[in-house]
Structure 1
Amino acid sequence: MLSRPKKHPDTKSVKDSDLLARFQTSGATADLLPLYQRHAEFIYALALRYLTTPQRAEDAGAEIWSVLLEKLPRHEVTNFKSWLHTTVRNHCLMQLRREKRDPLQQPVGGDVQSGDLLHLSVEDGEETIDTRPLHRCLKKLKAEQRHCVNLFYLREGETYQSIAASLELSVGQVRSHLQNGRRNLKKCLDGTNE
């Protein structure tokens, strides 16, 4: 379990909004650290609620650090704790969705699973489709391209607008990530088929 992070004494009385403004102005990771440490237990507890195991919750907490570094400079955040709650929740839900669709990302129990999970069967008696090249190519995409492609093509009912809302992007950014993701997937798959 995560140990309680030490807080910098000079930031105890500083509001979240002031720490956030300092980071958004400087862009220095050292300015984000006190804000992250202040909410580390909250991030861990929320991730644990969704992901159910301490190890997965700790991993998600580490991933959230990268998400904050990437997203905070370009988002206007009026209530940091609420925004953080939504960000952690969406991160965990997207991880669970990926695992549900991708047998390679499923947590493995004590037994080693068979290689049959690497193949998806169309129907009994029909030819088996090898999806390993697609999985490898999806993993090579940039994170936002991969998230957009997964949501748009592997989830029924997702629209540009719903993807934009869940990933906190504009509809134009979603279109761009989908277009670039498709192009990069095609290049990667063409390279694996040669």
Structure 2
Amino acid sequence: MRNSLDADRLSHRWFGRPHAELDEEERQVLDRTAARRPITRDTNEAFAGKLSFGDRMADRVASFGGSWTFISAFGVFLAVWAGLNLALGRGAFDPYPFIFLNLMLSTLAAIQAPIIMMSQNRQSEKDRLDAANDYQVNLKAEIEIMALHEKLDELRDRQLGAMILKQQEQIDMLTRLLTEKGR
């Protein structure tokens, strides 16, 4: 920004309040707009840089755990487990009602649920980052549109003023001609 006077003048013009009263996002957008700098940023890149190994692993687990591949593979595993134990009869390692299988399913659910919730929480954070970026981009676009309207209004007023001056010159010339002819 060129100086604080410009910041205040632009703030009053586009936000209707002093620069000091703007919130941080509005101030940042106003300063970048005045400096003709872009406001957009790649939120995916910014967010990906903050992910730890555990975060990336949780995202992969959640991605696989919520896929048809997982559901199909797990369905096949359950069918094989039950079929094998039923076929072995009395020598089965987990006879009907498959108590060990139920224990493994409960353990899997107990581990998988918080991992999926961690991934969903991170996705919510990313969505908030995207929303904040969208707000800034929209605010900058709105400011740019207002500035364009001001320029168009100024241009129209200048052209209208020039037209009025030209018409006044023509009226003055006609008045002078009529006055000279009437003598």
TM-score range, shorter-chain basis? under 0.3
TM-score by length of 2: 0.22
TM-score by length of 1: 0.21
Q: Tell me which protein shows more helix as a share of its residues.
A: 2
Answer with 1 or 2: which has the greater Rg: 2
Higher RCO (CA < 8 A, seq sep 6+):
2
